[in-house]
Each structure stands twice: as C-alpha cells, then as structure tokens.
Amino acid sequence: MIREYFLTLTANGLYCSEGDFYLDPLKPVPTAVISHAHADHAIGGHQQVFATEATLAFMDLRYGKNAGKAKQIIPYHQKFTIKEVQITLIPAGHILGSAQVLMEFDGVRYLYTGDFKLQPDATCEMLEWVKADVLITETTFANPAIKHPDQVLEIEKLNRISGNILLGAYALGKSQRLIQMINQFCPEKEILVHRQIDPINRVYEKFGFLSGKYRLYDRKSIKTQNNFIYLVPPFTFHSYIRATGLRRIFASGWKNLQTNPQDSLYISDHADWRDILLMIDKVQPEQVWTLHGNGLHLQQYYSGKLRVKILN
C-alpha cells in the first residue's frame, strides 16, 4: 500500500520518515541522499552523504572539507539500505553523475527523478527507465506550451555568426555539454573558457565524459577578433555588459534568459512537457507527486485518469 506521507516537504527539504533521510536537502542535515551536484540540490555541511562518485567529486571541488563529514560513494544500480528503506541510484541524464533515486519500502517502489532530461548528451550518463508505483518528478518545464527545439539545430545557429561570441552558461553541466557540441557541430569555432569552468572540466575529463578542444582566456583576449566563443558563467556574462565587438548569447531553456530573439539558444538540461509525459508513460506509476516547478498542468492533464499530488 502506498504511504501518502512516505515523503514530506519540510523546511529542510524533502524528508523520508521511514528512512530518516532527506533527498537533496536545502539545509545541512544528519543524512542526505543527493541526486546531483547543482547547488540547488547539493549543499555542504551534511553529516552523512550518499551520492554517485562524480556528484561527490563536484561537491568536494565546490565545498572542500565542508562537502560532508562522512561520504558514501554509491555506484549506479547498487542497492543500499538506510534504516528500512532500500535505495538504488539510476542514471537521470541531467549532468554527469546525476541520479534518479529509487526507494523501496513495504513492497512499494517510489522513484524520485531529481532533475532529468531525455535529449542526447555525450557528457553524462543516459537516463534509464525504471518502473515504480509512485513517481516523484521535477516539473521545471511541465507546461504544454514548452517544447524544447532540436539541440543540433540550435547549436548550429552559432555557425551563422561571424566574429566573436560571448556565450553564457552554467559552469557545471551546461558548459561541458556546449564544449562537446560546439566541437562536433561548429568545428570552425575556437572555444575559450572562463577560469571557473576549467576545474569542472577536469573532473569531467577524469571520468571520461569530455572531449574536444578548448583553452583558457583572460579579459585581454576578449578584444581579439578571431571567431572565438568565450564560454562564461552567468555572473561574468552579465558583468561584460559593455563589451563590444561580440554577440551576446545565453544558452538556456528559459525564454527570459535569452538575450534577444535573433540570438536565442534554447538548450536545456531539463525535460520538457513531452518528455515528462513520456517519463510517466514509461514508469507506469499509480500516483505522480510533483515538485521543483508547477505541477498544476499535469494535475489537469491527468484529471480522472491518474492521481497527481503537488508537493510544493
């Protein structure tokens, strides 16, 4: 029987009472299971952390000694137990090391997606399908109006731009995906990366998930006109507001982050509406619980067919 309060949203984050642990907690807690290393899911200060090796490597890079007092590397598909809850990490396809968290208790399977995507991405493990009784899914883009365009057609837009490009992207995950795609589909472009992206690239390379040419740059090199793509994190992108002689583009699935219609680059690391529906179809749950976004559209879409409970 499905336990309606197997997971509850608390001030510290999503809490599993039967296992006495948190999923991607927002504040330091005694026991945390981390789905992936983005800062809105993985913070420092926990007493005990369970995550994939890559996720822990990124947390070590970001938080150092504060990454977690006791850290447990959990390989994909290897079952482990916290109190009476059996847990398995399954690839989520979001970024390197990202995982869905399958929890089994009292004969019921609860699947927490974390953040996930279905689009191909050579810089991370591909999402794997798992059946479950309850699907706890992100709803970042759970809106019928949002459909991500073909990623190859998007990245090939850069080939039509002559001169330098200031390309904004999140340092972890998106930047490495862009490096791989630009090398593959825009081979005439030369990539110069910001110094804050480089250490993350090294982790990707260590795990064998980043190939392609790039090099570091400094602020002086941005004045050189040589068909460069300057790949920078958001704070640098916005601080270069007066930079001249280049095109400003921000890679994101969010419309409000596009700099202008001419230079839009819709490349997202989240599932869109169609992909969320496909996830539900593949998992075949009896119930869907939503968080990390707005689950209202899913609730309306499945009205009378499938129970959709909004957690946030």
| Distance separating alpha carbons of residues 232 and 277, to the nearest angstrom | 33
Confirm whether 256 is domain-assigned: yes
Confirm whether 283 is domain-assigned: yes
- Residue 201, classed as helix, strand or coil, is helix
Task: Tell me, yes or no, whether 14 and 54 share the same domain.
Answer: yes
| Distance separating alpha carbons of residues 218 and 294, to the nearest angstrom | 40
Task: Tell me, yes or no, whether 11 and 140 share the same domain.
Answer: yes
Q: What is the pLDDT of residues 31-84, one digit of tens each?
A: 999 999 999 999 999 999 999 999 999 999 999 999 999 999 999 999 999 999
Confirm whether 2 is domain-assigned: no
- Average pLDDT score over the chain: 95
Task: Tell me, yes or no, whether 257 and 164 share the same domain.
Answer: yes
- Model confidence at 231: pLDDT above 70: yes
Segment 182-208 mean pLDDT: 96
Task: Tell me, yes or no, whether 155 and 240 share the same domain.
Answer: yes
- Residue 246, classed as helix, strand or coil, is strand
Give the domain CATH number at 78.
3.60.15.10
Confirm whether 130 is domain-assigned: yes
The total of structural domains in the chain comes to 2
Segment 84-91 mean pLDDT: 98
Task: Tell me, yes or no, whether 69 and 94 share the same domain.
Answer: yes
User: To which residue do tokens 């968080």 refer?
Assistant: 291
Task: Tell me, yes or no, whether 109 and 177 share the same domain.
Answer: no
Confirm whether 173 is domain-assigned: yes
Confirm whether 1 is domain-assigned: no
pLDDT reported for residue 48: 98
pLDDT reported for residue 209: 97
Task: Tell me, yes or no, whether 24 and 137 share the same domain.
Answer: yes
Longest dimension (CA), the chain: 65
pLDDT reported for residue 72: 98
- Asked if 146 and 172 touch (Cβ cutoff 8 Å), the reply is no
pLDDT reported for residue 226: 77
Give the CA distances from residue 116 to residues 102, 304, 307, in Å, rounded to whole numbers and listed in that order: 14, 26, 21
| Distance separating alpha carbons of residues 24 and 243, to the nearest angstrom | 38
| Distance separating alpha carbons of residues 65 and 74, to the nearest angstrom | 19
Banded model confidence at residue 222, pLDDT cuts 50, 70, 90:
low
**What's the token pair of residue 80?**
């482990």
Q: At what angle do helices 174-185 and 198-206 cross, to 10 degrees?
A: 80
Task: Tell me, yes or no, whether 141 and 13 share the same domain.
Answer: yes
Task: Tell me, yes or no, whether 15 and 138 share the same domain.
Answer: yes
Give the domain CATH number at 179.
3.40.50
pLDDT reported for residue 201: 98
- Model confidence at 25: pLDDT above 70: yes
- Model confidence at 221: pLDDT above 90: no
| Distance separating alpha carbons of residues 288 and 208, to the nearest angstrom | 35
Q: Percent of the chain scored above 70 by pLDDT?
A: 97
| Bridge partners for 87 per DSSP | 80, 103
Give me the domain span that covers residue 167. 151-263
- State the Rg of the chain over Cα: 20
Task: Tell me, yes or no, whether 64 and 86 share the same domain.
Answer: yes
Judged by average pLDDT, the poorest of 30-39, 109-118, 212-221, 281-290 is: 212-221
Q: Percent of the chain scored above 90 by pLDDT?
A: 88
Confirm whether 89 is domain-assigned: yes
Task: Tell me, yes or no, whether 240 and 104 share the same domain.
Answer: no
Return the number of other C-beta atoms located less than 10 Å from residue 224's C-beta. Answer: 11
Task: Tell me, yes or no, whether 155 and 257 share the same domain.
Answer: yes
Confirm whether 229 is domain-assigned: yes
Segment 177-203 mean pLDDT: 97
Segment 286-311 mean pLDDT: 96
Q: What is the pLDDT of residues 249-262, one digit of tens each?
A: 999 999 988 987 78
Q: What is the pLDDT of residues 123-139, one digit of tens each?
A: 999 999 999 999 999 99
